[in-house]
Amino acid sequence: MSRAFKLYRLQQVDSQLDQGAARLAEIERILGDNQAHQAASEAQQRAQAALHTAHTAMRSAEENVSAQQKRIEQNQASLYGGAVTNPKELQDLQMESESLARRLSELEDTQLEAMSAYELQQAAAQAADAALAEVEAQLASEHQALFAEKAELLAEQTRLQGEHETALSGVEPADLEVYSGLRASKAGIAVSKVEAGTCSACGAEPSAARAQAARSGEELTRCDNCKRILYS
């Protein structure tokens, strides 16, 4: 087994490990990204707060109408109860009755407006609740699939790590040092296969001597262009 082949086999395993690690990182990012849920939750909280305000306004309007009705009842009792006989006092009570009636009409209009506003806000709050529930259901579905994929990736990473150790055991320390340096400087790809007479990593065509040396595998042969180890 040539030195280049040992490194190429190690490269294949390491590339799969890199891809798995990148996907795991992406899954963690997605699982940690709760912007959609946060936005829906904040909208729901705002809708609930507005609903509470509208309910308070409606209750206040109802209480105002009720209090005004009691004033009118008291006025009518005084006006028609027979206890007051003085014409001037009766005239004042009649004027007060008219004023109270006008005020009651205004308060009842306010009450109707408050009831309408409350009903509208109720609908808005229900819509916000439904939107939040939809986001949560969607996230639960997506996250379930992501958690399943994560479990599969972790199991695969464990298996590949075993293959990595096996492949690593056959590599000479000096070759491993070269390989590791190239991995760090060449975007994780230290070994390039010669395919159709060219370096698969950069597309350069090795000289005939280098191509022959890469085929023999007795020594590590480097691409003239990208300096990666060639395997043929």
What pLDDT is recorded for position 209? 86
Q: Can you tell me the mean pLDDT for 94-120? A: 95
pLDDT of 32-61, one tens digit each? 888 888 999 999 999 999 999 999 999 999
Structure tokens at 108: 């009842």
Mean pLDDT for all residues in the chain = 92
pTM above 0.75, yes or no: no
Q: Can you tell me the mean pLDDT for 133-153? A: 92
Structural domains in the chain plus CATH codes = 34-168 (1.10.287.1700), 173-231 (no CATH)
Could you tell me which residues come within 8 angstroms of residue 54 by beta carbon, excluding any fewer than 6 positions away?
114, 117, 118, 120, 121, 122
d(CA 131, CA 59) in angstroms, rounded, equals 28
Residue 82: pLDDT band with limits 50, 70, 90: confident
What pLDDT is recorded for position 84? 83
Task: Please check the confidence at residue 156 and state whether its pLDDT lies above 90.
Answer: yes
Weakest-pLDDT range from 10-19, 41-50, 138-147, 209-218: 209-218
What pLDDT is recorded for position 142? 85
